[in-house]
Chains A and B, each alone.
With several copies, the nearest count.
Chain A
Amino acid sequence: MQIEIEMITQPIQPRRELPAALAGLAGAVAEFTGIVRAEENGRPVAALEYEAYAPMAEREMRRIIEAVGREHPCLAVRVIHRVGVIPVGEAAIYVAAFAPHRAEAFAMLTKFMDRLKQDVPIWKVRAIEQP
């Protein structure tokens, strides 16, 4: 299973394209994009600031993907998490799972996101209010 993890401070450019080695093998691509909403805990916001313990966050993401992949084998998983100040309407995370069939790709995507939200050391540290 090919794993690509990026943590960036610039806007996320989702990359759906298949790793070249997987052409013809992947029948399913499942993607998730998490976007900053205009409301956080019931209050209007203009942006959220995210912080990460980056080396551990990358390691945890890899560990989760490998663990989920043992139960739901995928061909490749790509994660891009943005940190810093992220304006409303822009993506904080993008995940793509490539698998022969859709069940594995969906399971990877949903389980990865559940565990990310439990274990990956990334925090919303500040809500920036609307001016």
Chain B
Amino acid sequence: MRILFFGHLRDVTRCARMEVHFDESADADAVWRKLIESHPALARFHGCVRLARNCEYAGADARFADADEVALIPPVSGG
């Protein structure tokens, strides 16, 4: 699973992307656990960051597969 980081989250992770592996499909909590394992500083952004799965916001009951592209979307500020 490819994970993408944007905005100030990149200052936290010090990378724009990482690869993680899931043997079977995972829910959002499992994805977050894996992220925080690699980058503990992400923990405090859990509450204000949305997950996107293949370029769409993931609903609360979304399942994430190993082939998915998952992006961490901090509060946006375009326009």
Contacts and interface: CB of A to CB of B under 8 A. Distances in A.
Interface of A: 34, 50-53, 55-57, 59, 81, 92-93, 113, 116-125
B42 interface: no
B44 interface: no
10 contacts: A53-B73, A56-B52, A56-B73, A59-B56, A113-B79, A120-B76, A121-B76, A122-B76, A125-B7, A125-B8
B60 interface: no
A118 B55 contact: no
A118 B74 CA distance: 11
Interface in B52-79: 52, 55-57, 71, 73-74, 76-79
B55 A117 contact: no
B55 A56 contact: yes
The bracket for how many chain B residues form the interface is 10 to 19
B4 interface: yes
Contacts of B7: 51, 123, 125
A85 B74 CA distance: 20
- The SS class assigned to the B binding surface is loop
B32 interface: no
A30 to B, nearest CB: 13
A120 to B, nearest CB: 5
B79 A34 contact: yes
Contact of A116 (B8, B71, B74, B79): B79
B16 to A, nearest CB: 10
B77 A121 contact: no
A119 B76 contact: yes
A94 B52 CA distance: 25
A53 B78 contact: no
Contacts of B74: 123
A122 B4 contact: no
A122 B79 contact: yes
Contacts of B77: 117, 122-124
